[in-house]
Chains A and B, each alone.
Chain A
């Protein structure tokens, strides 16, 4: 019974996904009602997850189903972020499908199924459970990317994503097999127990296995040198889906990576040096790619690579205590707020068939839609890390964590990368405010995405005040 209680958010989300799938199958509701229903269900799941998180100290066991799954405050917070991302993406897609083709009712069911996979991923405490969760999430997201079957662009994006995703999945399974061969177990608790007994990496098989698993994770978080897919796939996906991928998928995968690395510190201590170099390369390559973009979607995708780099800083400077998890959770939440905000604003403003998508298309937006321009500015400043936004606090916590862990060089490099990144965020702000409008920015029909955007803009400021006890 306690097991089921800990899993309650997952069960509720799965039930919601099945309900939406049935509703879509029988074509009971129209496009607008489907979006409202999905948003409502995401909100309900969010509250169930919040209630579970609050009552977590009273659970008798943290490990459920024979240590296949483990719930912790960190996985709970990640679940909250994921469900909020789902809700706001549903709001954004309501508006998006108002002036874009490619709507299918099953879209919303897939959004919920992806959230199920992500929730399972945050709780996974065993390698094959992790793989299954990863695939549940990925398969649903592939469908979301390619749901519009009429456009070749979407089909190409899903081809690229699916091929490379399945390829990295193959690496994960091979890695899990080696770990199983070397250590005789695939559960995180078992792995750390064996590693504690026999010392670090006495088994060459397990060492190779963990390396393969690391490759898969680096691919999923789009760290350099496994980042090539991310810009193209984000560009090819519909805007609300891009927002969902950039936030929820990243949150879930980082949560799983942290759960694996910080079960005990031994895995992290071996990987720390490799991760250090990869992190630095990720930060600066991501910035270079973002500097060269003229398309906002591609710029945001490249900046997502940089944000993965910041999260890697937090992981590298982590210790086994809960403090580093708090910092990572805070950063993920702050990043999700700003990214979702900008994607829901873009879902409104991009117009028919995503016609406004480059920097130049937004010239003079502030003169026509001052509120939208102001909100986009808030999100961009938060992503750049300008006070008093949530993004600033998140970066502040991460750099402080790096300094207090003795990673001085990494902290300084993180700061330099922040300064570089200001250029491409401010470029869009400058385009919106300091040029004359060429476009009338006509928005057809009032919709839900602007409401979601406004909530997120307030949340960006509100969340920066959240006290982080550590």
Chain B
């Protein structure tokens, strides 16, 4: 049983990584990052069940709170970027090229 939850968790994480790497839209990239964090959360819950301790639940809750704070800032940045260029495609933002 634990394997299934873990496979799903890793699959979500990998989908998130893939989304961050391949997608060009800033909004979708942030969604992919949230997917990564939630993949980890699922793993925490599954392992809490396995270890029969509440630690995993608490950790997942804390990660969710942090993810919410991060999303709030990310949305503000997205609005800021949209105000400047009217688009959210990462190709449009090319002032900084390291």
Contact = CB atoms under 8 A, between A and B. Distances in A.
A348 B54 CA distance: 53
B4 interface: no
Contacts of A156: 93, 95-96
Contacts of A132: 62, 66
A139 B96 contact: no
Contacts of A231: 98
B36 A174 contact: yes
A184 interface: yes
Interface string B13-39: 100110010000010011001001101
A146 B77 contact: yes
A185 B20 CA distance: 29
Interface string A165-179: 011011101101110
Contacts of B44: 177, 180
A159 B25 CA distance: 12
Interface string A215-239: 0000000000000110111011000
Contacts of A139: 69-70, 73
A163 interface: yes
B40 A170 contact: yes
B98 A228 contact: yes
Contacts of A162: 73-74, 77
B93 A128 contact: no
Q: Which of B41, B46, B53, B59 has the most CB of A within 10 A?
A: B59
A158 B76 CA distance: 11
Contacts of A233: 96
Nearest to A302: B98
B47 A131 contact: no
A145 B97 CA distance: 17
Contacts of B43: 174, 177-178, 181
B45 to A, nearest CB: 10
A101 interface: no
Contact of A180 (B47, B77, B93): B47
Interface stretch (A12-20, A147-155, A400-408, A437-445): A147-155
Contacts of A181: 6, 43, 46-47, 50
- The range of chain B's interface size is 35 or more
B93 A159 contact: yes
A235 B51 CA distance: 47
B8 interface: no
Interface string B56-88: 100100110010011001100100110011000
Nearest to B50: A181
A163 B55 contact: no
B97 A159 contact: no
A232 B96 contact: yes
B59 to A, nearest CB: 5
Contacts of B69: 135, 139
A362 interface: no
B66 A166 contact: no
B56 A167 contact: no
A131 B63 contact: yes
A171 B21 CA distance: 14
Nearest to A129: B62
Given A180-B56, A232-B97, A135 B6 contact: no
Contacts of B77: 142, 146, 155, 158-159, 162
A329 B30 CA distance: 36
Nearest to B26: A159
A174 B59 contact: no
B16 to A, nearest CB: 6
Contacts of B41: 173, 177
Contacts of A184: 51, 53
A113 to B, nearest CB: 12
Nearest to B96: A232
A157 interface: yes
Interface in A104-133: 128, 131-132
A166 B98 contact: no
A49 interface: no
B80 A149 contact: yes
B50 A166 contact: no
Given A155-B84, A162-B74, A173 B20 contact: no
A234 to B, nearest CB: 10
Q: Which of A128, A153, A298 has the most CB of B within 10 A?
A: A128
A128 B40 contact: no
Given A128-B63, A155-B77, A174-B40, 12 more contacts: A139-B73, A149-B80, A156-B95, A159-B77, A174-B39, A177-B9, A180-B44, A180-B56, A181-B46, A186-B55, A229-B98, A232-B96
Interface of A: 128, 131-132, 135, 139, 142-143, 146, 149, 152-153, 155-160, 162-163, 166-167, 169-171, 173-174, 176-178, 180-181, 184-186, 228-229, 231-233, 235-236, 298
19 contacts: A131-B63, A139-B69, A155-B93, A158-B77, A162-B74, A163-B29, A166-B30, A166-B70, A173-B37, A173-B63, A176-B40, A178-B43, A181-B46, A181-B50, A184-B51, A185-B55, A186-B55, A229-B98, A231-B98
Which 3 A/B pairs are nearest by Cβ-Cβ distance? A170-B36, A232-B96, A177-B43
